[in-house]
Amino acid sequence: MISMKQMIRISLFAAMISVSVYLFPPFLVPYVNITFTLQTLLVVLIGFLLKPSEAFLSCFIYLLLGAAGLPVFSGAQGGFQIIVGPTGGFLILFPFLALGISLLKSKTKKMWFDLLISILLAIPLLYLLANIWLSYSLSINYWRALLSLIPFVPFDILKIGFAYLIYQKIPDEVLY
C-alpha cells in the first residue's frame, strides 16, 4: 500500500518533470527534430531521490499526463501522438531509467559510483534503445540517427552531474 507521503512525493516529482519543459526554451537539433530539454535532468534526479517504485511511478504518471493531452512534453505539447512520434522512445524509457538509477545507486552516496551508474544507464539506454524508435519513425538509418544524437551527450552528462549535486545536498531524512 502506498502511503500519503509517498503519493505526495510521486505527484510532486511528476509535476516537476512536467514543469521542466517550461523552464528552458526547447532548442531544436536539426535533422532529427529533437529538442534539448531539462527532462533528463529531472528523470535522473528522480532516480537518485526516490525509492525504485516511486521513481518509476513518478515518471509513468508524467507519461500518462502527456498522453492524456496535457502540454507537458517538449515544446508544451501533449497527446498520444507525441509518444508514438520520433521522441516516443525516449519518453517511454524515462520510467525505466529512473527505476534503474534508483535500484543501482549506492546507499551511502558514493559520488563516482553513482555518477558512473547513472551515465552508463542514461546514455546507452536512452541513446541506443530510444534511437531504434527514432530511426524507425523518421525512416532514417539507425547509425545516422545515432550520430545525430552526439550533440546531446555532453549536455546529458552535465545534467547528470547537476542532478547528482542536488541529490548530494538533500539529506536522506527529508525524503524518507
128 three-state secondary structure: helix
pLDDT (tens digit, 9 = 90+) per residue, 118-162? 999 888 888 899 999 999 998 999 999 898 888 889 889 999 999
74 three-state secondary structure: coil
The label of the residue with cell 551511502 reads: 108
| More confident: 33 or 53 | 53
**Amino acid letter at 135?**
S
C-alpha span between 103 and 98 (Å, rounded): 9
What is the band of 14 on the pLDDT scale with cuts at 50, 70, 90?
A: very high
pTM beyond 0.85: yes
Terminus-to-terminus CA distance in the chain, angstroms?
A: 16
DSSP letter assigned to residue 51: -
**Residue 29 pLDDT > 70, yes or no?**
no
Choices 1.10.10.60, 3.40.830.10, 1.10.1760.20, 1.10.357.10: CATH for 4-175: 1.10.1760.20
Check if the beta carbon of residue 160 is closer than 8 Å to that of residue 149.
Answer: no
pLDDT (tens digit, 9 = 90+) per residue, 58-113? 999 999 999 999 999 988 899 999 999 998 999 999 999 999 999 999 988 899 99
pLDDT at 25: 73
String of DSSP letters for 15-34? HHHHHHHHHS--EEETTTTE
Taking the domains of the chain in order of start, what are their residue ranges?
A: 4-175
Residue of 47, 29, 45, 39 whose CA lies nearest to 65? 39
Check if the beta carbon of residue 175 is closer than 8 Å to that of residue 58.
Answer: no
